[in-house]
Amino acid sequence: MLFGEAADFRSEHPRAVACAALGAAELLHAVPNHANARRLVSDAADSLPSPATDDAWPWPEPRLSYANALLPDAALAVATTMGRQRAASDALHLLEWLVDQEMVDGHFIFTPVGGRSPDGTQPAFDQQPIEAWTMTEACTRAFAYTGDHR
């Protein structure tokens, strides 16, 4: 009931939209005809940032900041919930790029507090646990969708 009341709110902040979309997509798995959740997922499809056209920096923002994997995770959840194959492919491409950016010598070195721009150096320190959590969630969703162990 509380979700139904809160689901009408829309944020202008991409990570807030991503969190709301992830919750709505999960609710739709349990209650497929939940109208507010369906509307929220549809609105998120229109408002989540799309990958940039620059192959060297396809990230939809000028720099990586925090909880980065929320964006491709939510984009994939929304795309699969709505049956949008092209959007799912875009989300997977963005996640693959992010994994490549944050993987050094076979292990993750996540973006630190303060973010990183395209010319930023890696590795850096002062990462937050949310980075590992969001990457784990995004990769788990990608594996469930594709079966690809990468």
Predicted pLDDT at 97: 96
Q: How far is CA 121 from CA 7, 16, 26, 34, in A?
A: 39, 27, 36, 45
Using the Cα atoms of residue 87, residue 135, residue 77 and residue 43 in order, give the sign of their dihedral. negative
Predicted pLDDT at 114: 77
Predicted pLDDT at 117: 81
Instruction: Of 91, 88, 77, give the one whose Cα is nearest residue 25.
Output: 77
pLDDT in tens, the chain (150 residues): 888 788 888 999 999 999 999 999 999 999 999 999 999 999 999 999 989 999 899 999 999 999 999 999 999 999 999 999 999 999 999 999 999 999 989 988 888 877 888 887 665 666 788 999 999 999 999 999 999 998
Predicted pLDDT at 125: 66
Predicted pLDDT at 7: 85
